[in-house]
Structure 1
């Protein structure tokens, strides 16, 4: 009986001491970086940007107004003006950009979806984790950008085991090259 008890205790200690990265641990660490706001700069004084905005439904839906003509005295002034309805999508814009008639807008949010695969490297001390993200809270300003809304986007995260546990590595080194 004593041998059985000691065997169980030893098995528990060995299981608790394992530092192998699990899908659940990877998901929890990746989730900390999300949601991620996707933004876009709108050049309000650019006539080409105004022409592009005319091809969207933004003005008809009440998010913007577009000044169609400018006199010589008005050159450099904005063509695109944001309405009250657009305020939830306007992001803080640096003063330097405001001087250049640039407004930062929110396009969407990327949210972590799920881990799709894991590859353990270097004696289980490094890992490459593949996962997907989805877009949520998509704004009406997407047609002014180059963003293509896809059902799922594939991403990779690189992990390394430190003395305090697993961490995501921002700049993976040569050890992450798969052999």
Structure 2
């Protein structure tokens, strides 16, 4: 009887050790945010010496919104100098340029910030000894700036994305689709 009881506990112990528990939503959120680097900033490059960029800013009325000042005419001596400069109101949205960007008169501006707002786990499947779980997650934009007009995207609409979690080598790994 003792041998049977010992065998029973051994089977339960080994079965418990090899059973893969489905991760909870907090664990999945942590995996997604770490591996896909959320939240992250959406930015836009403005070529300050480019007449086409200056025209686009004028067309979007970012000058009248008080974000930029645009030099509408240039003298021959000023050719190649920046047409676009940024006001104090724009300062919170400016991303510090690299040395290379400074040389080329490129200024990156913050457009919005993407964050994961919702996670939905599918049913786990097992094949070849590996467990996988389909994951659907929703990305929403927050902190939308006046420079969002530069991109042809509706930042009020969330984006639904898919990925798969794969249990391998004793931990969950994210596989983007």
Flag whether TM exceeds 0.5 (same fold): yes
How far apart, in 1, do the equivalents of 2:42 and 2:13 lie? 45
Q: Structure 1 residues 85-94 or 11-20, which shifts more?
A: 11-20
Q: Which runs of 5+ in 2 are unaligned?
A: 1-7
Secondary structure class of the residue paired with 1:93: coil
Report the CA distance shift for 1:14/1:49 in structure 2 as closer, same or farther (over 3 A).
Answer: same
Matches of 2:126 and 2:67, distance apart in 1? 53
Shift of 1:116: 3.5
Partner of 1:133: 139
1:153-172 pair list within 5 angstroms: 153-169=159-175
Q: CA RMSD in A?
A: 3.0
8 Å CA contact 1:39–1:105 kept in 2: the answer is yes
- The residue aligned with 1:62 is 66
Q: Is the 8 A contact 2:70 2:84 kept in 1?
A: yes
1:131 is paired with a residue whose SS is: strand
2:40 alignment counterpart: 36
Q: 1:18 to 1:150 in 2, by over 3 A?
A: farther
Q: Secondary structure at the match of 2:95?
A: coil
- Contact kept? 2:118, 2:139, Cα under 8 Å: yes
Distance 1:14 1:105, change over 3 A: same
Per the alignment, residue 146 of structure 1 pairs with: 152
The number of residue pairs the alignment matches comes to 169
Q: Report the TM-score when normalising by structure 1.
A: 0.78
2:28 pairs with 3, 26, 29, which one?
26
Unaligned stretches of 5+ residues in structure 1: 1-6, 173-179
TM-score, scaled relative to structure 2: 0.79
Distance change (3 Å), C-alpha of 1:157 and 1:76: same
5 Å matches for 1:57-136? 57-118=61-122, 120-123=124-127, 125-136=131-142
User: Does structure 1 conserve the Cα–Cα contact (< 8 Å) formed by 2:66 and 2:89?
Assistant: yes
Tell me, what secondary structure is at the counterpart of 1:129? strand
Q: Assess, with a 3 A threshold, how the Cα gap between structure 1 residues 119 and 95 changes in structure 2: closer, same or farther.
A: farther
Q: Secondary structure at the match of 1:143?
A: helix
SS at match of 1:125: strand
